Amino acid sequence: MKKVLIATTNNDKFEAVSKVLNNTIFPENEFILESLASIELNIKDEKEVGTNLERARTKAMNAFNALKETNYNYDFVVGLDDAIRVKGILEENIKEYIDKILNGNYIDEGEEYAFNRAYVIIDKNMKIYQTTIDIPYVYHKANEKVELKAHTYPLSKVAYPIGSDKPICDFNEKEEIDYYLKYVKNDLMSLNISK
């Protein structure tokens, strides 16, 4: 089986993204997906700058380059980064807005917004495939205080899929994946990744 390294240590993001990738470009019966959390890799720590697409590319390239110094063998490296689109404006560094969003000071109750996820995929031959995809939600303030913990995705508590009365974090696995696939499948499949 071929192997894919997803360049993240965020377990919530890895779980969601790996399911999407298994249902699109990297089928589960052909690919093993792993995160940075599952291997020891010495990646240089850099301040994140630029657009979410540029940050995703940097993450993928840093992991790709670090792999050259190891015995690990991956067929693809995937870099991801998120931005948020509010009132038509793409805010590139979502981390700067998390507190404001969770406290209801940035997005109005019932307002539609979107997470914009950048995907950058590098194959063994350094061919790069990339796209950014909006996944729309409706904002509803969390009923309880949301703890900010490293390597988690707290905004899932205030992200209500369009037409839903519950946040994405309360969806079962199939519901969650079906919602993501509704918005990402065509874009990911159109990358026409050579396998």
- What's the pLDDT at 194? 87
Any idea which architecture 2-189 has in CATH?
Alpha-Beta Complex (3.90)
* Structure token digits, residue 192: 């026409």
- What's the pLDDT at 85? 94
Over residues 65-107, the pLDDT tens digits come to 999 989 999 999 999 999 999 999 998 878 788 888 887 788 9
The string of DSSP letters for the chain reads -EEEEE----HHHHHHHHHHHHTTTS-TTTEEEEEGGGS---PPP----S-HHHHHHHHHHHHHHHHTTSS---SEEEEEEEEEEETTEEES-GGGTHHHHHTTSSS-TT-EEEEEEEEEEEETT--EEEEEEEEEEEE---SSPPP--TTS-GGGGTEEETT-SS-GGGS-HHHHHHHHHHHHHHHHHTT----
For residue 130, pLDDT beyond 90: yes
For residue 63, pLDDT beyond 60: yes
Residue 20 exposed, middle or buried by CB count within 10 Å (0-12, 13-18, 19+): buried
Strand partners, 53: none
Mean pLDDT of all residues belonging to the chain: 91
For residue 151, pLDDT beyond 60: no
